Structure 1
Amino acid sequence: MLSDLSLTANLIVFGVAALVILVAGTKMTGMADRIADRTGLGEAVTGGLLLGAATSLSGTVVSITSALDGRASLAFSNGVGGIAAQTAFLALADLIYRRANLEHAAADVANLFQSTLLMLMMVVPLAAFVMPEMAFWSVHPASVVLVGIYLFGAYASVGVRQSPMWRAVDTQETRDDQPEDEEDAKKSAMALVVPFLGLMLLLGLAGYAIARSAGALTEQLGLSSALVGALMTAVVTSLPELVTTLAAVRRGALQLAVGGIIGGNTFDVLFLTLSDISYRDGSLYHAIGTGDLFWVVVGLAMTAVLLIGLILRERSGPANMGWESLTMLGIYGGAVGFQAWSG
């Protein structure tokens, strides 16, 4: 048990697991881009479904493991805290993309759809918290609703890609999904899928180590579970999203970058369903405090700003960033400062 290890040993375990997550996440971006071309799903859909879910695997394991240990606050805040951190990563990607505002150049209807779906899903835990406590076999109905919304969104996202009823206006700065070169296309799709699944497994194992070490660090450092979940485990398990987003932008796969973040955030909300099932002492949504819900509100606000930016499509702004990127960074920075001060 990691709780029996010293503080230094737990910090080392936490750091090594974070490094594994960082390296594995980096390698997944190029694979996802080629899988998008080979399957014909496109960058936005592949980023939103495949890459988003895959890079969230380590965070999933953290939330499930924490819930099984009875750490409701850590399980909840790990999921919703990652949403805010990953949305802030898009602002950093906007900073390194110098041609235009990232949200302008990566215009894609699938990303708009995924953003609205994410906001709808984030309302569900808020509703569950304010409603009377209820649970069937220790699972709150809200957890089932989240799965239903996600499955509908996954099905509808493919239709939005294949038969869109709305299209973004192309400009000189718009970057479309560019297919892979002909020689690379001759390779079997399975040659990419198998190692991709292997990296997913590696992320899951690293997530388990993060969960165990984070639980021990919470007690050894005397920190609140909400603080550790939102600002330590959530950020560390979100490292694949940061790396894949920056790598995708440098590759010119802009829809993949934006879609990967939004899709990862959507999948992160499902952490709550898995955590609620794993938490056997009743409803997860009534075992948390208002401090945990703080990060739901932050994530909702940042997603709303991102959606506005995707619709307005400002070509450029201060420091060649869109105003929405600056606003998202401001919201996240303020939230981190408030959490550190209050937690």
Structure 2
Amino acid sequence: MIIEGILFLVGIVLLVKGADFFVGGGSGLAARFGVSAATVGFTVIAFGTSLPEFVVSVNAVAADDAGIALGNVLGSNIANIALVLALCAFIRPQLVGRNGDGHDSTLWETGLMLAATGVFVLFALRGTLDLLAGAGMLTAFAIILALLWRHGKGEEASGVESHGNRDVLLTIAGLAAVIIGAQFVVDGAVAIAGALGVPTLVIGLSIVAVGTSLPELATSLMAIVRGEGGISVGNILGSNIFNLLFVMGIGALIRPVPIGNLSNTLITAAFALAVVPLFMGGDRFTRAWSLLLIAAYAGYMALIFGIV
């Protein structure tokens, strides 16, 4: 248990420092390529922090365990909104949705995330994510990516300077540290919980379900601390698009993914819609709505595990 505890602490350090490098490198890339920090957060950083979901889900589909793949993606998207984004909004509501050109940019990105969610729901209504669904989701993903990059071009991040190739190195090193740190934290926490006799239900609810969202959490919180609200929001919204359309699109090409009960898919869509009010009010309203989202997530977890 001592080794697990050391790994847990090392994972925390890697998460924090890796996120710091990742956000710094991402900000520099924004200035280097002449796009907004939010756009880089929405693409490079978001896709990087979604690598755990990608690896877990694609491996699960390949192993003919589509339920894990679908549950991982839907659960991660809900956690990204109701935990990560809600926590960022509660800590510094003045930065959420107020980066670069203000609300317009954030609402544009939110609209793309809602469009991606709508595409996924439409294919999910067919009952199975098959080859047609996979091709359709990947096509939608490419279109959204092109629209986003075109919209963000020329919106330079204010107060951010490029440091040349160092930005690329910082981004890669930060991403690696975040992913490795997240794995150390999850493995260490599971081992500690098991040694303490915590039920597996509690372990799955509190650790494993949120484990693949730790990179998003670390990166977004660090972005908020550094004053990069655009990267924080872009990371979360972009990660959700990546999870739904790219991860599940690739998964559907490998093997058909049965949807089963649509309730979790529709709840994911409801949480996606719940993002909009975060960007529509003042600081007091934003904090209140973020607390409501966190409470809704806790209630959802309790419901699906039969606690209430």
Deviation at residue 152 of structure 1 after TM alignment = 0.8
Please state if 1:56 is matched with 2:32: no
Aligned equivalent of 1:3: none
Q: Distance in 1 between matches of 2:18 and 2:64?
A: 29
CA distance in 2, matches of 1:212, 1:276: 29
Task: Describe the shift of the 1:96–1:325 C-alpha distance in structure 2 as closer, same or farther (beyond 3 A).
Answer: same
1:1-343 correspondence runs (5 A): 24-88=18-82, 89-97=84-92, 100=94, 102-103=96-97, 107-131=102-126, 135=130, 140-162=131-153, 177-181=157-161, 185=162, 187-188=163-164, 190-200=165-175, 228=204, 232-269=207-244, 270-278=246-254, 282-284=255-257, 286=258, 288-290=259-261, 293-310=262-279, 313-317=280-284, 321-341=286-306
How far residue 301 of structure 1 moved from its aligned partner, in angstroms, is 1.5
Question: In the alignment, is the contact (CA less than 8 A) between 1:114 and 1:262 conserved in 2?
Answer: yes
Q: Check 1:161–1:333 CA distance in 2 against 1; reply closer, same or farther (3 A cut).
A: same
Given that 2:137 and 2:249 are in contact with CA atoms closer than 8 Å, whether structure 1 keeps it comes out as yes
- Alpha carbons of structure 1 residues 206 and 65: separation in structure 2 relative to 1, 3 Å: farther
Q: In the alignment, is the contact (CA less than 8 A) between 1:119 and 1:304 conserved in 2?
A: yes
Query: 2-side partners of 1:132 and 1:246: how far apart?
Result: 36
- Taking the aligned partners of 1:87 and 1:72, their CA distance within structure 2 comes to 23
**Structure 2 unaligned spans of 5+:** 189-198
What do the CA deviations read for 1:109-150 (whole angstroms, capped 9, x no partner)? 343223222222223443334326584xxxx31111111111
Task: Call closer, same or farther: CA 1:131–1:17 in 2, change over 3 Å.
Answer: farther
- Kept in 2, the 8 Å contact 1:26–1:240? The answer is no
TM-score (norm 1): 0.72
> What RMSD over aligned residues (CA atoms) do the two structures have, in Å?
3.9
CA shift at 1:234, angstroms?
4.5
Residues 145 and 317 of structure 1: is their aligned pair in 2 closer, same or farther, counting only changes over 3 Å? same
Alpha-carbon shift at residue 26 of structure 1 (Å)? 4.5
SS at match of 1:131: coil
Q: How many residues are treated as equivalent by the alignment? A: 300
TM-fit CA distance, 1:177: 3.9
| CA distance in structure 1 between the partners assigned to 2:298 and 2:16 by the alignment | 22
- Cα distance 1:77–1:159, how it changes in 2: closer, same or farther (>3 A)? same
Q: Distance in 2 between matches of 1:156 and 1:86?
A: 23
Q: Which has the larger radius of gyration?
A: 1
One-letter amino acid matched to 1:317? R
Q: What are structure 1's unaligned runs of at least 5 residues?
A: 1-7, 165-175, 214-220
- Counterparts of 2:160 and 2:211 in 1: how far apart (Å)? 31
**1:230-254 C-alpha deviation (Å, 9 max, x unpaired):** 8644511211111111111111111
What percent of counterpart residues are identical? 19
The aligned amino acid for 1:86 is N
- Please report how far the alpha carbon of residue 202 of structure 1 lies from its aligned counterpart in structure 2 after TM superposition: 6.1
Asked if the contact 1:97/1:249 (under 8 Å) is kept, the reply is yes
